[in-house]
C-alpha cells in the first residue's frame, strides 16, 4: 500500500434533529409529563406489554398490493437461488445507525439467503457509521461531501448522496466483508486520478477515473470462484496527485440484501437536490426490487412543511423512483413517535408527526406505494414515553436504542412476511411458516449509541 496515512474516522456530521415543538395544523399541544422514575417491576410489565403488542398486534401495513412486484421477485429467487434480490433503504439517522436495517437484513437473509451488505458508503465517512457484516477504514486525506445539506456544491453525490474526495496520492479506503462481486462507484472527471484495487493484499485492478465531466463511473471485480462467499479485505488507493471522488462500494452474493443509505439529519426532499443524471443512472443499474423511504422525523420538526407542501414534494420523490425503476416496489416507513422537552424538565408527546404521517400515507394511496405506519406500530401517539420507560429508546425521546430498533424491525419483517404468505397463498404456492410471533433468534446485542 502506498503512503503512510494513518486510518481515521471522519468527524463530518449533519445537523441534528430539530427541536421545534410547533404543533401540526389541527393538532393541539399536549401537556408535559414528568421524566421517568424507573420501577423495575413496572418496567418489566411495560416490556411485556410492548412485546406482546408488537408480536400479536394488527399489521400496520397499508396498500400491500403495491408490494406485488417485490413479492414476485422473492418467489422467483426461491426457485433460482443464484439470483440476488436487492432492497435499498433511504432515510435519516434511524437508517444511518444500521440497527433497524441491520436487523431487517438479518431476518430477510435468514429466510432467503445472505445476499451480502450491498451498497455502502466509501470508507468511514462520518462518526458512528457502520454496516453490520463488514469492517471499514480510511486514511486521513479524504473530505466528506454531502453531509452538509445546505452546501452540496455540484451535488454529484452518486447513489446515496455522499462522497469522499481527495487530490493526494496514497490515500486509501478499506472494506472487509464476504462477497462474490465487488463494485466501486466513482465520478468520471477530466484529469481524474488512477486507483489501485487490492483484494486480500493482491492487486486485482487499476481504475482510471479520468473521463467526461460529471459522468457516473463504475468498476466491477468478480471474485475468483475459489474465493466466492469468502471473506475479503479490499483496499482502494490513489496513485498520484489528481482529483478522485468515490461514491461507494457494492458487494453482493446470491440471496437478498437490505441496504442502508441513511444520513443523519436528512429529510426526504434531499433526494431531489442530488445531481439527477448521476443519481438516476446508478439507481436504475441497481435493478432493486424494493425501495424503502424512511423519512419524516426531521420534516415533522420543520415548521415550514405543511400537509399540502409536503404531500406535493414527497409525491415528486415517489414519481422519480417509479420512473427510474418502473418494476420496483416502493415501501414508505412513516416517522416514529417521539416526545420533546417541555416545562419543568419533563417531556410531552410531539404533535408535528401526524401531519407527515397523513401526507405520506395519502401519497402512497395515490402513487402506488405501500405504507407502514411506524408510529401506530409502536403503540400510537405518545408511545415513545413507554419505549423510553421500557429501556428501548434513548432519553432524547427521538431515537431508539439497539434493542428498540431490533424489536421494531422484527415487527416490520413480520408484517412484510405475512403479506408475502398471502401473496403465495393467492397464487397457489406453498405458504412459508409465518414469522409473526416466531422470528428467528435475535442477533448479538449491539451498542445503543446512535450518531446525531
CB 334 within 8 A of CB 355: no
pLDDT of residue 426: 95
Q: How far, in whole angstroms, is CA 143 from its chain's centroid?
A: 22
pLDDT of residue 225: 67
pLDDT of residue 228: 53
What's the CA angle centered on 223, arms 220 and 226, to 5 degrees? 165
Measured CA to CA in angstroms, residue 418 lies from 105, 363, 407 at distances of: 17, 24, 16
Per-residue pLDDT for the chain (452 aa), expressed as one digit of tens each? Answer: 434 444 444 333 333 343 333 333 344 444 444 455 556 777 888 899 999 899 888 899 999 999 999 999 999 998 888 899 999 999 999 999 999 999 999 999 999 999 999 999 999 999 999 999 999 999 999 999 999 999 999 999 999 999 999 999 999 999 999 999 999 999 999 999 999 999 999 999 999 999 987 899 999 999 986 555 578 999 999 999 999 999 999 999 999 999 999 999 999 999 999 999 999 999 999 999 999 999 999 999 999 999 999 999 999 999 999 999 999 999 999 999 999 988 766 889 999 999 999 999 999 999 999 999 999 999 999 999 999 999 999 999 999 999 999 999 999 999 999 999 999 999 999 887 655 444 544 443 333 333 33
User: Which residue in 219, 229, 223 sits closest to 109, CA to CA?
Assistant: 229
For each of the domains in the chain, give its residue range(s) and CATH number, in order of start: 32-115+255-452 (3.40.50.1110), 117-253 (2.60.120.1360)
Provide the 3-class DSSP secondary structure of residue 117: coil
* DSSP state letter for 343: G
Q: What is the pTM of this model?
A: 0.88
Task: Measure the CA–CA gap between 425 and 80, rounded to whole angstroms.
Answer: 20
CB 93 within 8 A of CB 450: yes
**Burial of 82: CB neighbours in 10 Å, binned 0-12, 13-18, 19+:** exposed
Which runs of E-coded beta strand occur in 12-139? 61-62, 84-85, 87-91, 118-120, 135-139
Could you tell me which residues come within 8 angstroms of residue 372 by beta carbon, excluding any fewer than 6 positions away? 60, 61, 62, 331, 332, 333, 334, 412, 415
Amino acid at each position: 500500500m502506498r503512503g503512510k496515512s494513518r486510518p481515521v474516522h471522519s468527524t463530518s456530521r449533519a445537523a441534528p434533529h430539530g427541536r421545534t415543538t410547533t404543533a401540526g395544523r389541527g393538532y393541539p399541544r399536549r401537556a408535559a409529563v414528568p421524566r421517568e422514575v424507573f420501577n423495575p417491576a413496572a418496567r418489566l410489565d411495560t416490556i411485556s406489554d410492548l412485546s406482546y403488542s408488537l408480536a400479536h398486534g394488527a399489521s400496520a401495513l397499508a396498500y400491500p398490493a403495491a408490494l406485488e412486484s417485490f413479492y414476485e421477485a422473492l418467489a422467483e429467487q426461491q426457485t433460482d437461488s443464484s439470483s440476488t434480490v436487492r432492497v435499498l433503504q433511504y432515510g435519516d439517522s434511524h437508517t444511518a445507525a444500521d440497527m433497524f436495517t441491520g436487523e431487517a437484513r438479518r431476518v430477510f437473509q435468514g429466510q432467503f439467503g445472505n445476499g451480502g451488505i450491498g451498497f455502502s458508503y466509501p470508507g468511514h465517512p462520518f462518526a458512528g457509521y457502520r454496516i453490520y457484516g463488514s469492517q471499514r477504514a480510511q486514511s486521513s486525506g479524504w473530505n466528506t461531501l454531502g453531509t452538509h445539506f445546505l452546501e452540496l456544491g455540484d451535488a454529484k453525490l452518486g447513489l446515496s448522496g455522499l462522497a469522499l474526495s481527495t487530490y493526494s496520492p496514497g490515500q486509501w479506503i478499506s472494506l472487509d466483508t464476504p462477497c462474490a462481486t465487488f463494485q466501486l462507484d466513482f465520478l468520471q472527471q477530466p484529469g481524474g486520478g488512477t486507483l489501485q484495487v487490492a483484494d486480500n493484499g493482491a492487486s486485482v485492478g487499476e481504475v482510471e477515473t479520468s473521463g467526461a465531466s460529471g459522468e457516473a463511473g463504475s468498476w466491477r471485480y468478480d471474485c475468483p470462484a475459489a474465493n466466492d462467499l469468502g471473506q475479503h479485505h479490499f483496499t482502494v488507493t490513489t496513485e498520484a496527485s489528481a482529483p478522485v471522488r468515490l461514491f461507494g462500494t457494492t458487494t453482493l452474493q446470491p440471496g437478498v440484501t437490505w441496504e442502508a443509505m441513511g444520513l443523519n439529519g436528512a429529510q426526504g426532499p434531499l433526494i431531489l437536490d442530488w445531481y439527477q443524471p448521476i443519481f438516476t443512472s446508478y439507481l436504475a443499474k441497481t435493478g432493486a426490487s424494493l425501495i424503502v423511504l424512511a423519512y419524516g422525523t426531521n420534516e415533522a420538526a420543520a415548521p415550514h412543511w405543511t400537509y399540502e407542501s409536503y404531500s406535493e414534494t414527497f409525491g415528486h420523490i415517489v414519481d422519480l423512483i417509479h420512473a427510474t425503476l418502473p418494476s420496483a416496489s416502493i415501501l414508505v416507513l412513516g416517522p416514529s413517535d417521539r416526545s420533546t422537552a417541555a416545562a419543568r424538565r419533563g417531556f410531552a408527546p410531539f404533535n408535528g408527526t401526524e401531519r407527515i404521517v397523513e401526507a405520506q400515507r395519502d401519497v402512497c394511496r395515490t402513487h402506488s406505494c405501500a405504507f407502514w405506519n411506524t408510529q401506530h406500530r409502536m403503540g400510537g401517539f405518545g408511545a415513545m414515553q413507554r419505549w423510553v420507560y421500557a429501556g428501548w429508546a434513548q432519553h432524547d425521546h427521538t431515537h431508539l436504542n439497539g434493542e428498540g430498533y431490533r424489536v421494531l424491525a422484527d415487527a416490520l419483517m413480520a408484517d412484510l412476511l405475512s403479506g408475502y404468505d398471502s401473496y403465495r397463498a393467492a397464487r397457489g404456492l406453498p405458504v412459508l411458516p409465518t414469522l409473526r410471533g416466531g422470528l428467528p433468534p435475535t442477533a448479538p446485542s449491539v451498542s445503543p449509541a446512535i450518531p446525531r
